[in-house]
Structure 1
Amino acid sequence: MDEQRKFGVDFRALQSGLGIGEFVPSRQVFGAADEVFIAREHGYRRIDAHTLLHVLNFEAGQPYSLKLARPDLVCIQAIISGSYSRWIGPRMDLVPPQLLQISNVPISISDVEAGRKLRGLLIVCDRQHLLDHYKLNVAAIPAPYRPIFLSREGTPEVLQLPLSATGIGLVDQILGCKYAEPLRGIFLGVKTVEILCDVVAQLHRPQRTATPRLISERAKQKAIETAAEIYRRELGELPSIEMLALRVGLNRNELTSGFRRAFGLTPHAYAQMHRMERARDMLQAGQMSISEVARRVGYEGYASFARAYHAHFGHAPALSGGQPAATEAD
């Protein structure tokens, strides 16, 4: 099994190191990486003083992890086909095809499996430039996502929108561009601005969260696997089913039916099973109180945790070698 390669890129440093219209291939950014990015194109182009374009049209020859430093930068991801996992702090989301993903967080990490083919692009734009030059009306954006555009620190929340027919066409034009330089750079610059205009126009319309219009069975399976991993990693603060579905690019019915097929359980039952198993493991380790174990798996106090634990295992929670702490209270 191939060992995961690890790379890193600082978008601010990359932006300042490139001239307007200049392109740098990934092998110059990361060193020897041709065996990782089997690509028609994989690199970064400075569109103007405030904007970078990253075209993705490649197959991952090896699994890799890419750490992105992106302070005070709005990242707009449009994937036509393929998917990958993105980490923002301890939170992991699936980045699916056919959706716009708009985010602003100082650090993110992208994990891509070997053999994964990705077609799409990433536009990185100065947050203030997006406000000033494109006259983005933040009041039209749902309140939880406004820090993407108003805060230097951003937010771990990612705004997902349908990838419009216009947007799909523009991405396809960029991916299919046959021009040589300097016409290529001029063409890509114009199309990048068109995409930004389309995104801002879409942000100005009433927003609705959305799922991809078409998703293959393989992509659904990957999304369910990602959702299950999210549950296992975030037991202390479980996302709602609606939020989990949004994070992996499915609707509620697809998520629920997918869990039933894969695990024979509803998403809630699956999460609850792992909650209780994690709690039992921590109790057996004996390194923290029962109330602390309860908090670690998402309960506010002992009583509610004890009821759930008894319902699952048929007996009250107890530390390893000890008796149930029935006197602990919420």
Structure 2
Amino acid sequence: MAITLSEQDWNDLWQQGKHNGSVVCQSDGWETLEQGYLPYLGKVHEWEMQLREGLCIGVYDYNLTDDIICISQNSGCIDSCLSFFVSGDVRTTLHGLTDCVDEVVGRNYLSCIPNVPETETWQAGQRLIRLQIALDPYSFFHELTLEQLTQLPAEVRQVAASGDIKPYYRSGITTPEMAVVMHQILHCPYHGLTKRMYLEGKALELLTLQFSQFVQDNRISQSSALRSDDIERIHYAREILLARLHDPPSLIELARIVGINDNKLKIGFRHCFGTTVFGYLHQCRMERSRQYLKAGGMTVSEVAKAVGFVNRGYFAASFRRKFGVNPRDYLNQMQKTPASDRKNSG
């Protein structure tokens, strides 16, 4: 039977953990870390850092021991929140704003939900990790001109221009470029002020990538060249590429499978994902190869073949350009890392 936690129940659970010593809190003014063990949530790790006025970053990590239903009212939640799922999935309903939504790895979410009742369902046995960036658009962007603000998503632009906060919720696709930045944030090598400076740059990079995606989507939807069903076909083409990294279809074959002409597929793919069809394929192959090497159990040659590279030398050069390390060296590094740490790392 699922455990139902209200906002008050959640706060009481954490306060009790701090009181009895099962949760330890550390803070230096910029950075706050709370970690330990709590009933229902299992091993917990909540980390937040204030980067500058109007910009904060956090990672929230729970190893769920029970099915949980979280109910919140979001009173006073006026920031825009950019969420990425690193691990696990959640079923979310924003009452009066969205139907039930499956929030999963591979997608990201931009939302502002002041006073919007929310129900989240979490399943036991999964590790749930969310990376979030909280943004106050008015504090952060209000000095920009109206022309400059047009480069922001419409929802963010409205708040930045006037301070008028209205609820919204948008879902986007986490691209390989975003995944790389997320990995860098989760494995930040710095401390103190240097850490804060580094993470501010990475947070802005994630904002840039997601905002660009949403602005492109708006332009597509407003364009007569691509209808909504065309955009659905382009997203379907992406799913086919992800499923066939080792043996991808040709551009013409891919266009035929999804029911769109190849020219519209090329134009639409660049609009949706910011790169060409096979540029995207290459990025996905690189990220998948990194995951295989991290998991262990395969040689570099086997990994290269699994993601569709015939020439191992070309694969090694591509991997080195993408991640700054040879695949053999990366594999050796992962083999020295405990399996549990490899599994739980980004």
TM-score (norm 2): 0.47
- From the two aligned structures, give the one with the greater helix fraction: 2
Larger Rg: 1
Q: Which has the higher contact order (CA 8 A, sep 6+)?
A: 1
TM-score (norm 1): 0.49
